[in-house]
Chain A
Amino acid sequence: MLHLLKIDLKKMTNYRTFWVICGLYFLTLGFTTASGMEILKWLASKGAEFGASININRVPLYHFPDIWQNLIWISGLFKIVLAVMVVISITNEYQYRTLRQNVIDGMSRWEFLQSKILTNVLLSLVSVTMILVIALFTGFIYTPEIEWNYFFVGSEFFIAYFIEVFSFLSFALMLGVLIKRSGLTIVMLMLASMIEAIIKINIFRSGVEDQIGWLKQFFPLESITNLVPLPFARYALQEIQDYVALSAVAIAIGWTVLFNYFAYLKLKKSDI
């Protein structure tokens, strides 16, 4: 296992594009989540100039335990950058035909795919760790009084976040294996959510919505989004889902397994 990860990392860590994209990802992700409060304060001060004063400090965005779900939901928006990196990594192997040489050199196709999957696991873990650290730091800074009883409420969102990132990277890897060309794959990756939305609109017309609307959660990209529900409506005094639904986890894991399995099937069947 570690051996396979080492092989893929050796390919990546000497690749400038990898560092540039990952650097951009972790920097923007880190800065956005870490400085969100300062950005909001700045926005509020701008707003005050126009006479719309909001006391941003009264909104517990960065207070334990709200902060877990808030930061994780925001972080989820950035995963597309990482997915583009994954697409480049896999489609390069087709473009340079190095997949062929890897197999000739003695990797099985499954081992090759495993090496890519393991890198996805690693990237997901690094994302989770980073957000965990940032949430702890900023939480301690901005929370006026920490109530330890509620401190860990919602920290299961980190597990959901890991599945969210890893599942999406698996989806990107599968697209790369199926399409093989980087440009087209990246376009498909960008359009995938929209395509899924269009399909859903066509299936769930107003008449049938009531009876089969519950089927929506089984769509692959929707299942990824459902892991971490949008939290901010709670500050407009609306009811939100502030926990991770087990059904969402199960469906997302199911799709993750399928994404990787489809990639495996395709890889196994094709001449390379």
Chain B
Amino acid sequence: METVLSTDKLTKHFGKLCAVNQLDLEVKRGQVFGMLGPNGSGKTTTLGMLMGVVNPSAGSFSWFGEPATHHTRKKIGAVLEHPIFYPYLSGQKNLELNALIKGADPANIAKVLEIVELTARKDDKYQTYSLGMKQRLAIASALVSDPIILILDEPTNGLDPMGIAEIREIIKRIAADGKTIILASHLLDEVQKVCTHFAVLKRGNLMHIGPVDDVGKGEEIVEVQAYHDDLSILLQEFVGSASIKKENGLFEVMMKEGYHAKDLNRFLFDKGIVASHLHTRQKSLEKQFLEILADHKV
């Protein structure tokens, strides 16, 4: 698959602070690439370098296999951190300005306003918008040039649950068009739902990069509940259990390779116990994320 973005030892120092440290990333066409990391781990700084607003201290990056120029950026729709617009201009006028800079067809404006459901308020000044409306306008401005790549930095910040779900749908729809998306977010659930690949940063260092599909592989966790006093002792006797944890009144049994919920169920039944709750869970991205961050001490 064609490489859309690759970075080579990309580094940024702010004085003594190393915000991004020798980052090597590769994003291929059609990927929905999640960038994860705690606050201050360097996500926005990385995206800022990729979009030409932060000068790298060292290293390089290329879009579409070529060194980036400002022309490359016209093909990318990006919102970094906060929505940025002229407060005294209306939403419509702001988008016209974005389109003018990007060399986009002004006819797209009505379309993108429709997508983010701002058509009714398009002639109001930006400064009168609510936070969620500002976020929506930012997404509209990223879409206005019909970009091949979309870069979103916490795009659902400040949106209501409906808004979050809508943005997720928008992202999925855009991804289905074969567009490449880079998404920095703290909502791991979101990332797991929409992303195909993800990277984890910690204090500017790349801790992990890989497909999201791999997250659930290998290990299986089964939640069990039953009315029995010594359930935890019994569960330990089960040959398929690797470890047992009690959480929220449920037992979580980490299964050994090759064992599944039905084996556990049969085991309990043979002991004369009927489970009142039995649920197989795949490992969540959240769990893996926390593990990745805990594993490496940087």
Contacts and interface: CB of A to CB of B under 8 A. Distances in A.
A15 B101 contact: no
A105 B53 contact: no
Contact of B52 (A7, A14, A104): A104
B88 A7 contact: no
8 contacts: A7-B101, A10-B96, A14-B88, A15-B86, A97-B84, A101-B84, A106-B71, A271-B48
A105 B102 contact: yes
B178 interface: no
Interface in A1-34: 3, 6-7, 10-11, 14-16
Contacts of B54: 271-272
Interface in A95-118: 96-98, 100-108, 111
B296 interface: no
Contacts of A101: 84-85
Contacts of B71: 106
A105 B86 CA distance: 14
A161 to B, nearest CB: 32
A58 interface: no
A230 B24 CA distance: 64
Nearest to B126: A96
Interface size class of B (residues with CB under 8 A): 20 to 34
Contacts of A102: 101
Contacts of A100: 53, 80, 84
Given A7-B97, A10-B97, A104 B85 contact: no
B88 A107 contact: no
B70 interface: yes
Contacts of A103: 51-53, 70, 73
Contacts of A271: 48, 53-55
Nearest to A108: B70
For A14, A15, A16, A97, the residue with the greatest tally of chain B CB atoms inside 10 Å of its CB is: A14
Nearest to A18: B88
A104 B86 contact: no
B121 interface: no
Contacts of B141: 105
Contacts of B51: 103-104
B74 to A, nearest CB: 4
Nearest to A110: B70
Interface of A: 3, 6-7, 10-11, 14-16, 96-98, 100-108, 111, 269-272
B133 interface: no
B167 interface: no
A271 B46 CA distance: 12
Interface string B45-89: 000100111110000000000000111011010101010111111
A98 B88 contact: no
Given A14-B93, A271-B48, A272-B53, A107 B70 contact: yes
A104 B98 CA distance: 10
Given A14-B89, A102-B101, A103-B52, 13 more contacts: A11-B89, A15-B88, A15-B89, A100-B53, A103-B51, A103-B70, A104-B52, A104-B78, A105-B101, A106-B101, A111-B70, A271-B55, A272-B54
The 7 A-B pairs of least Cβ separation, nearest first, read A106-B74, A108-B70, A101-B84, A106-B73, A105-B101, A104-B51, A271-B54
A10 B93 CA distance: 9
Nearest to B103: A106
B275 interface: no
Contact of B98 (A3, A105, A108, A270): A105
Contacts of B97: 7, 10-11
B176 interface: no
A6 to B, nearest CB: 7
